[in-house]
């Protein structure tokens, strides 16, 4: 089902008409120079799960929107949790109707609140799926950071949960909301480089098993909860730096929690490759390892029709066709020959979804009950491409993949790799 054809779930959110694009101010109009003021019941109410560097950025952005109000935050680290609570309350300090921001260690308590309409999830990758499923069951709309899941099974489960409970879901692959990536994919989809022969995706390699030594941990972190489904292991600050660190922690490098740069940056750039190929609801059918058994680049994906996507290069995404090439990365779009990117897209040609901004798009789609630019299936399919590549690097053998059935045909061993062993009580949830 396409985004445009989606049947609405609520049609109205807290009494706001679906046609509404932006509600009046959160704080009194006199504070921000506006003339209007609306009751809190007509604002979308948000909760934030995981308040590290990424979600602090999201929190600041959403606090700037006039049609939302943040009610709660959640993090297993006391310092991050309390800082987020103070940030929210300081922002609303002049709003006499605001009753304060609650702070939780357990995301389930936040999701259980009936006064929260939607959640923003930016916990480590191994902590995405449980909050996604629980939020879906609670009928809460979701913005979840990429890479969407830790495993292929989680990717399929996320789609199933969102569809069953009919929530509006935005994956945080924000490159889709940037003009240069949309234009690159429009040019490719409209045949400007002729028949596509190959796509080069330049991102780093896979993750490795964690071998970090034990460190003493200061009080204020629920380390067992941070580990969740992952195996029990001693604390190390590389995995969960304490306090308000201003960097992206290196848990991304370890298989227990993430897929390395292959999923971190891959969830961005393979996503653009999928978009340009028109494969948002599909994926490759064969994944081939590099000839060098020690290489961490060079995996080849083969799509129906013979188009190849190659993992490697210097960054960004390069579409190679019979009549030219298009290269795109953040802030840069180029082509060979140069004239390709100067050609306008005609009114009767393919025009891709034009987002007003990734967060804004999600909010607008919540009100209209439409699928946003990076719906759950898009995020799930893109991260699955990354997972497939990692499985080939880790196991060094060719894989055949059926993107319709979400399985490796006739390959019992590979089908067992679609998920991981999990620590109780964090088994794969049901939708």
How does pLDDT run across 217-227, given as a tens digit for each residue?
989 999 999 99
pLDDT mean over 73-93:
97
* pLDDT value, residue 314: 74
Burial of residue 40, with CB atoms counted within 10 A of its CB: 0-12 exposed, 13-18 middle, 19 or more buried: middle
Which residues is 317 bridged to in the sheet? 201, 328
* pLDDT value, residue 243: 80
CB neighbours of 428 closer than 8 A, spacing ≥ 6?
Answer: 129, 153, 154, 157, 419, 422
* pLDDT value, residue 19: 35
Q: Which of 188, 344, 195 lies closest to 276, judged by CA?
A: 188
Which residues is 311 bridged to in the sheet? 201
Identify whether the C-beta of residue 108 lies closer than 8 Å to the C-beta of residue 425.
no
Q: Which of 233, 247, 263 lies closest to 388, judged by CA?
A: 263
Q: Which of 426, 76, 62 lies closest to 251, judged by CA?
A: 76
CA angle 323, 179, 129 (to 5 degrees): 105
* pLDDT value, residue 39: 53
> 35 pLDDT exceeds 60?
no
* pLDDT value, residue 40: 57
Express as a percent the part of the chain with pLDDT over 90.
87
How confident is the prediction for the chain on average, in pLDDT?
91
Topology of the domain covering 176-207+261-349+380-418: Dihydrodipicolinate Reductase; domain 2 (3.30.360)
3-state SS string for the chain? CCHHHCCCCCCCECCECCCCCCCCCCCCHHHHCCCCCCCHHHCEEEEEECCCHHHHHHHHHHHCCCCEEEEEEECCEHHHHHHHHHHHHHHCCCCCCCCCCEEECCHHHHHCCCCCCEEEECCCHHHCHHHHHHHHHCCCEEEECCCCCCCHHHHHHHHHHHHHHCCCEEECCHHHHCHHHHHHHHHHHCCCCCCEEEEEEECCCCCECCCCCCCCCCCCECHHHHHCCCCCCCCCCCCCCCCCCCCCCHHHHECCCCCCHHHHCHHHHHHHHHHHHCCCCCCCCEEECCCCCCCCCCCEEECCCCCEEEECCCCEEEEEECCEEEEEECCEEEEECHHHHHCCCCCCCCCCCCCCCHHHHHHHHHHHCCCCCCCHHHHHHHHHHHHHHHHHHHHCCCEECECCCCECCCCHHHHHHHCCCCCCCCCCCCC
How much is the pTM? 0.90
pLDDT in tens, 405-428: 999 999 999 999 999 999 999 999
Q: Report the chain's C-alpha Rg in angstroms.
A: 22
pLDDT mean over 348-352:
97
> 20 pLDDT exceeds 60?
no
Instruction: For helices 53-63 and 78-91, give the axis angle rounded to 10 degrees.
Output: 10
> 9 pLDDT exceeds 90?
no
């Amino acid at each position: 089902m396409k985004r445009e054809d989606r049947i609405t779930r609520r049609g109205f959110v807290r009494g706001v008409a679906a046609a509404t694009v932006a509600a009046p101010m959160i704080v009194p109009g006199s504070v921000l120079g506006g003339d209007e003021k609306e009751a809190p019941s007509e604002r979308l109410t948000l909760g934030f799960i995981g308040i590290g560097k990424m979600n602090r950025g999201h929190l600041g952005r959403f606090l700037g929107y006039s049609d939302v109000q943040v009610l709660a935050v959640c993090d297993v680290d006391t310092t991050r949790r309390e800082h987020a609570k103070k940030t929210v309350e300081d922002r609303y300090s002049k709003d006499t109707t605001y009753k304060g921001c609650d702070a939780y260690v357990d995301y389930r308590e936040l999701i259980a609140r009936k006064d929260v309409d939607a959640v923003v999830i930016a916990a480590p990758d191994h902590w995405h799926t449980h909050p996604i499923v629980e939020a879906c069951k609670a009928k809460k709309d979701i913005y979840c950071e990429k890479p969407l899941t830790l495993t292929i099974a989680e990717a399929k489960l996320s789609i199933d949960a969102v569809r069953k409970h009919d929530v509006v879901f935005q994956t945080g692959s924000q490159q889709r909301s940037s003009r240069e990536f949309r234009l690159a994919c429009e040019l490719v989809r409209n045949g400007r480089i002729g028949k596509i022969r190959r796509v080069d995706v330049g991102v780093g390699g896979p993750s490795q098993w964690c071998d970090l030594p034990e460190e003493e941990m200061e009080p204020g972190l629920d380390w067992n909860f941070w580990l969740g489904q992952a195996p029990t292991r001693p604390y190390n600050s590389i995995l969960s730096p304490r306090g308000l660190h201003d960097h992206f922690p290196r848990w991304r490098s370890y298989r227990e929690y993430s897929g390395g740069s292959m999923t971190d940056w891959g969830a961005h750039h393979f996503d653009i490759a999928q978009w340009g190929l028109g494969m948002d609801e599909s994926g490759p059918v064969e994944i081939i390892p590099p000839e060098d058994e020690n290489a961490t680049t060079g995996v080849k994906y083969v799509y129906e029709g013979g188009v190849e996507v190659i993992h490697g290069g210097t960054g960004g995404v390069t579409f190679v066709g019979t009549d030219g090439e298009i290269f795109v990365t953040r802030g840069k779009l180029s082509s060979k020959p140069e004239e390709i990117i100067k050609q306008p897209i005609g009114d009767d040609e393919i025009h891709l979804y034009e987002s007003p901004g990734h967060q804004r798009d999600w909010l607008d789609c919540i009100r209209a009950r439409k699928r946003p630019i990076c719906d759950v299936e898009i995020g799930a399919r893109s991260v699955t491409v990354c997972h497939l590549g990692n499985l080939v690097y880790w196991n060094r053998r060719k894989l055949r993949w059926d993107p319709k059935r979400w399985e490796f045909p006739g390959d019992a061993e590979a089908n067992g790799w679609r998920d991981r062993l999990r620590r109780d009580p964090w088994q794969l949830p049901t939708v």
